[in-house]
Amino acid sequence: MSSRPAGNPAFVFIFITVLVDSIGFGIILPVLPQLIMHLTHVSVDRAATYGGWLGFVYALMQFFCAPVLGNLSDRFGRRPVILFALFALGIDYLIMGWAPAIGWLFVGRAVAGMAGASFTPAYAYVADISPPEKRAQNFGLMGAAFGGGFVLGPAIGGLLGSLGPRAPFYTAGIIALLNGGFGLLTLPESLPLSARRAFDWRRANPLGTLRQMRKYPAVEWLLGALFLWQLGHQVLPSTWSFYTIYKFHWSAAQVGGSLAFVGAVMAIAQGALTRVLIPALGGERRAAAFGMGAAVFAYLGYALVAQGWAMYAVSLSTCIFALTYPSMNALASQRIPANAQGELQGAIACLYSLSAIVGPPLMTQVFSYFSSAHAVVHFPGAAFAAAALLTAGCGALFARAMRLAPPQSPAVHSQLTPGD
């Protein structure tokens, strides 16, 4: 494993790749409700249900394809898998921009789910070039790329929305294709031939990938905690646009601006503060716990605020909120041998996809019901309250994982072999 610093050109490209993927996803969020309403001629609360099922299709395909991409990257290297995913994603966004009916959006989201798992080999690439003690910080930078994409993506999407709800899709496609072309010319391979392993379909399917993680009991519990964390987190991309349009009557530009602000806070936290806050809080274990507490506060705040400006105030808690995912990812990565890092990231992506299969329909249905005239209690923020409960469950599983496996030193991790 190379210990090259995070500032090397390969890391920069991977950072840009994750950034571009996030821009492509975030750029469509402000206009997706408009496009759904345009294609289906329904109100915003009913459009949220379509949005949830679009997220379901995307996540279902990613659930099956993410472990395949992770295992393929362990066999053939990270570079070809990352580049293939980028080109496929670019073409898919162009198809979605052209979509003449709602059915084409579902087709587009299915293809995007297959190609959108490029973060699996991307995170494995980061694990390849990072020493164990630096992985939390470098995973934090990857989180900053996601946050940066949510700064640029929604802001661009909100502005382009003035040209029509399709313009952001075309823009996202062009950006992804340009990034793929750049990587074709500049991205080196990170996984040497000596560290590769044979591809095995028994390990490349979701159940097979997760079954491999049973070798590491603490990792099993960490993966369970990550699943509940991501399931709660699904409330933000799936419900935010519909919730703010319904409750505060925001325009596409206002939705885009608010998402950009949340992304900016997350990017600053994970890109600049992660390296400072994680050591200051006593390491990944305590940083993850503090992040979970901040997330519960944030979700309840979003659920209860009465004015639109308060959404911005509550989102400042993301500075701590953002520490959780990279910290838990690093804790799991430190307990996995080098030639299974792609498989671990495939398992994490698999669970993320599973959360995204369940999350968008769940959160949008909760929002739709509690926003409707026939709800027993009118409470549009109910989906955010549900996310707070899921985060509390995440904390319980995380505590169990930490009791099973106290923190290991980098030296112990370096002695792990594929048979450990």
Residue 407 — pLDDT band, cuts 50, 70, 90? very low
Contact 398, 292 (CB under 8 A): yes
Residue 410, pLDDT score = 42
Among the ranges given (131-140, 197-206, 209-218), the one the predictor scored with the smallest mean pLDDT: 197-206
114 CB contacts (<8 Å, ≥6 apart)? 61, 62, 65, 88
Average pLDDT value for the chain: 78
Question: What average pLDDT does the segment 278-282 reach?
Answer: 80
pTM reported for the whole predicted model:
0.63
Residue labelled with tokens 């162009």? 94
Torsion angles phi and psi, residue 149, rounded to 5:
-65, -35
pLDDT band at 338 (very low <50, low <70, confident <90, very high): low
> Which pLDDT score, from 0 to 100, does residue 417 have?
31
Q: Residue 412 pLDDT > 70, yes or no? A: no
What pLDDT does 147 receive?
Answer: 66
How far, in whole angstroms, is CA 371 from its chain's centroid? 27
CA atoms within 13 A on the CB side of 354: 16
Helix (H) or strand (E) holding 237: helix 235-248
374: left (phi over 0), alpha (psi -120 to 50) or beta: alpha
Instruction: Give residues with Cβ within 8 angstroms of 415, minimum separation 6.
Output: none
The CA distance from 154 to 337, in Å, is 38
Tokens found for residue 290: 């503090």
Q: Which residues lie below 8 Å from residue 322, measured CB to CB, with a gap of 6+? A: 140, 143, 147, 265, 266, 269, 270, 273, 274, 291
- Per the structure block, which two tokens stand in for 218? 């603490």
Cβ count near 166 (within 10 Å): 19
Domains, the chain: 9-186+211-405 (1.20.1250.20)
Tell me how long the chain is: 420
pLDDT band at 6 (very low <50, low <70, confident <90, very high): very low
Tokens found for residue 195: 């560290």
Residue 22, C-beta contacts closer than 8 angstroms, at least 6 positions apart: 145, 146, 147, 148, 149, 150, 153
pLDDT, tens digit, 9 for 90 and up, residues 355-384: 878 888 889 889 988 988 888 888 988 999
Residue partners of 351: CB distance under 8 A and separation at least 6: 210, 223, 226, 227, 230
Question: DSSP label at 322?
Answer: T
The pLDDT-based confidence of 416 (bands split at 50, 70, 90) is very low
Task: Give residue-wise pLDDT tens across range 168-194.
Answer: 888 888 888 888 888 888 777 777 676
| Between residues 409 and 235, the one the model is more confident about | 235
How far is it, in rounded angstroms, from Cα 395 to Cα 392?
5
Model confidence at 295: pLDDT above 50: yes
pLDDT reported for residue 389: 93
Residue pair 219/335 in contact (Cβ under 8 Å)? The answer is yes
CA–CA dist 68, 74 (Å, integer): 10
Tokens of 364: 């949008």
